[in-house]
Amino acid sequence: MGFLHGKRALVTGILSQRSIAWGIANAMHREGAQLAFTYVEEKLKDRVDEAATAFGSNIVLKCDVTKDAEIEGLFTDLGKHWDGFDILIHSIGFAPREALAGEFLDGLTRENFAIAHDISSYSLAAMAKAARPLMKGRGGSILTLTYLGAERALANYNVMGLAKASLEANVRYLAYNLGPEGTRVNAISAGPIKTLAASGIANFRKMLDHVEENAPLRRSVTIEEVGNAAAFLCSDLASGITGEVTYVDAGYNTLGMTGI
Ligand code: NAD
């Protein structure tokens, strides 16, 4: 029996089989969780239906996190399938492409800043708030995905780094708020992985090469490795862990000046 047997998990953020959320769904399915999924717009629903079929689920619900009514509606609809659930995976991030290239200040506008923070950080707290009645008192777990650009200045990551810093603070405040009712909140800081979101970052291939040459493991990580860590963090095996950022990055974040 898998270590997530009996758990119900809502997985957001599947866009393709390369999505980190796909790796998470795969690991959670293997460990016995029942899954439900979200899609962001009608033209992308087929892709999420494909995931649901692959992982034995028939719950596929719409949610564009820029719309308050869709966040509310998601949990109203989910409540018609499940009287409660245990795991919320927030694998959602976006910043306009022109903000993810070149100099930070060149791509900086009030609008780009607002979009990046709204979709990539505010949505975590908004979903946690709307999910609260269904998650309360079950010993459940919320997990989001962040990146090292939250803490270090990295080329091209720019306003997304600010949004991820906000997201990581969000994890700590949510963990403190929801801890008394038994819900844990954590983040995984994943190393670079070639996904559709990542391809929006200028020179992403160079980032991958740099990690593969320098990380302690001398390679990048896979969605399977992130998925396995996510399954652990959302399981009862991690019942004492909350408010944390866990790195799944082949050790890259531990480096200082190397290779000299
Ligand atoms: P992806 O493109 O497969 O997934 C991004 C997801 O965000 C998509 O499913 C997309 O539909 C969703 N999304 C965007 N706008 C949305 C909206 N308005 N409403 C609802 N959903 C919306 O890419 P990914 O790399 O799997 O990204 C998942 C998460 O992992 C993101 O938060 C990303 O920042 C983070 N992350 C990625 C990497 C990487 O290198 N790929 C590294 C660290 C963290």
The rounded distance, in Å, linking the Cα atoms of 171 and 165 is 10
**Mean per-residue pLDDT, 33-42:** 98
Ligand 1 pocket: which of 12, 16, 19, 44 to mutate (most atoms within 8 A of CB): 19
Indicate the CATH number of 8-253 among 3.30.70.120, 1.20.120.1200, 3.40.50.720, 2.20.28.120: 3.40.50.720
Which atom of ligand 1 approaches the CA of 193 most closely?
A: 40
* SS3 at position 27: helix
**pTM exceeding 0.80:** yes
Q: Where are the domains of the chain?
A: 8-253
Mutate to test the pocket of ligand 1, among 11, 20, 226 (most ligand atoms within 8 A of CB): 20
Structure confidence by residue, pLDDT tens digits, 154-198: 999 999 999 999 999 999 999 999 999 999 999 999 999 999 999
pLDDT of residue 260: 85
Reply yes or no on whether the pLDDT at 210 is more than 90.
yes
Structure tokens at 136: 């309360």
DSSP string, 142-201: EEEEE-GGGTS--TTTTHHHHHHHHHHHHHHHHHHHHGGGT-EEEEEEEPP---TTGGGS
pLDDT over 90 percentage in the chain: 98
The verdict on whether 147 is a catalytic residue reads yes
CB of 116 sitting under 6 A from ligand 1: no
Q: Is the pLDDT of residue 259 over 90?
A: no
ipTM for the whole predicted complex goes beyond 0.95: yes
Question: Ligand 1, atom 7: nearest CA belongs to which residue?
Answer: 92
CA-CA-CA-CA torsion sign (23, 26, 30, 33): positive
The amino acid at residue 97 is R
Q: 71 in ligand 1 pocket by Cβ < 6 Å?
A: no
Find the catalytic residue in 39, 157, 247, 252.
Answer: 157
